[in-house]
Amino acid sequence: MPDLRGLRVAVLGAISWPTPPPGYGPWEQVAYNVARGLVARGVDVTLFATANSSSPGKLAAVVPAGLNEDPALNGEVWTELHVASCFARAGEFDLIHNNLDWKPLLYALATTSPPLITTVHGFSSPQILGAYYAGAARSFYCSISDADRDPGLAYLATTYNGIDPAAWTFRQRAGDYLLFYGRFHPEKGAHLAIEVARRAGVRLKLAGIPHDERYFRELVAPHIDGDAVQFLGHVTGPARDELVGGALALVHMTTRPERFGLTLIEAMACGTPVLGARMGSIPEIVVDGVTGYLCDDVASAVARVPRLAALSRQACRAHVESNFSVDRMIDRYLDAYAEALRLRTPPPPTAEQQRWRRHDWWDRPMAFTDIPPRPHSAIEESPLP
């Protein structure tokens, strides 16, 4: 393990919520966990986040609050100011660790130092890949699962997200309800969780933020009756810990490949197994038959509900402690940092990567949050950068 004590690292985080977030806010939580883990290893960390954030190291902020906390804040304007504030200070750092998607890549193209590592937390649309391809001339990439890798990009490492298991209370006894916990969007499968619970005859609790209002209104809300299906909204703090730890299982029946799924490891840290779709990153995180079950459809999920209480909740906790702790995540990032510092700039794309960059990504079943209509213009005929 490389000794990078004293290394000056800028951690560029997301600004939808404060860091760490009070509840939902996976990108902010990961940035905080990275900063905290690095500081514990003696790294000199400056966390770029909102002004109402807290940092284990130094805090740099120009955005007064999370964009989702204050509707008066223009997201486009404040995101640009946030990114610019980091790159204006680039000369102060030995390495910049970007956790804010594609916009920082474009700023980085105007500079040659310091080395930049971007954690790809997910591609929001096929067209965003163009920015990642262009940014590959300047940024090294880390994926958060093997499943979420794009074949047109080169990656330094897979750096699974990590949490502090001590922040989640282990509960030995299984609860009597299923739980959906996350954002309400078709790709997260809350409607499938409702169907699984209904057919299995088990109560379901829903917690999270309606990301897609129409989806929530049409496919989720009509089933909420306060008994068989309960909606708890945005649950935070100790109530969230109790809710997750008190469940029989977390239901994560996604409809598109999951990128990572922070809620999966949070649930298992409490001892709560996962009933998840067999796609994307979920088979990398859930050990089938040990820390949950991998399911191919609603019927197979329903069939496994009676087996959930027999799973070892201690095995769920141990799995997170061994594989998905902050320490394990930092081990992976320090290796990636050392390689980026050695190489300084990424190598040019291979012929195979160039070939994949000309692929029509609208036909690829990726975990895009939004899939816009395929363009009917000259853009469609031109390969991405």
pLDDT in tens, 11-56: 999 999 999 998 889 999 999 999 999 999 999 999 999 999 999 9
The residues near 205 (Cβ < 8 Å, ≥ 6 apart) are: 177, 178, 179, 180, 230, 232, 243, 247
Placement of tokens 């990114």 in the chain: 83
pLDDT for position 122: 87
Q: Give the tens place of pLDDT for each residue, 338-374.
A: 999 999 999 999 999 999 988 877 766 677 777 777 7
Residue 85: band (very low, low, confident or very high) from pLDDT cuts 50, 70, 90: very high
Distance between CA atoms of residues 110 and 300, nearest Å: 51
pLDDT of residue 123: 85
Least confident segment among 162-176, 339-353, 369-383: 369-383
- Is residue 384 very low, low, confident or very high in pLDDT (cuts 50, 70, 90)? very low
**Taking the alpha carbons of 185, 65, 26, 369 in that order, is the dihedral positive or negative?**
positive
SS3 for 231-294 is ECCCCCHHHHHHHHHCCCEEEECCCCCCCCCHHHHHHHHCCCCEEEECCCCHHHHCCECCCEEE
| Cβ–Cβ < 8 Å for 4, 338 | yes
Radius of gyration of the chain (CA): 21
Burial status of residue 110 (CB atoms within 10 A of its CB: 0-12, 13-18, 19 or more): exposed
In which band, very low, low, confident or very high, does the pLDDT at 376 lie, cut at 50, 70 and 90? low
Of all residues in the chain, the percent with pLDDT exceeding 70 is 96
- In this predicted structure, which of 19-23, 33-37, 263-267, 320-324 has the lowest mean pLDDT? 19-23
Residue 379: predicted pLDDT: 45
CA 326 – CA 330 distance, rounded (Å): 6
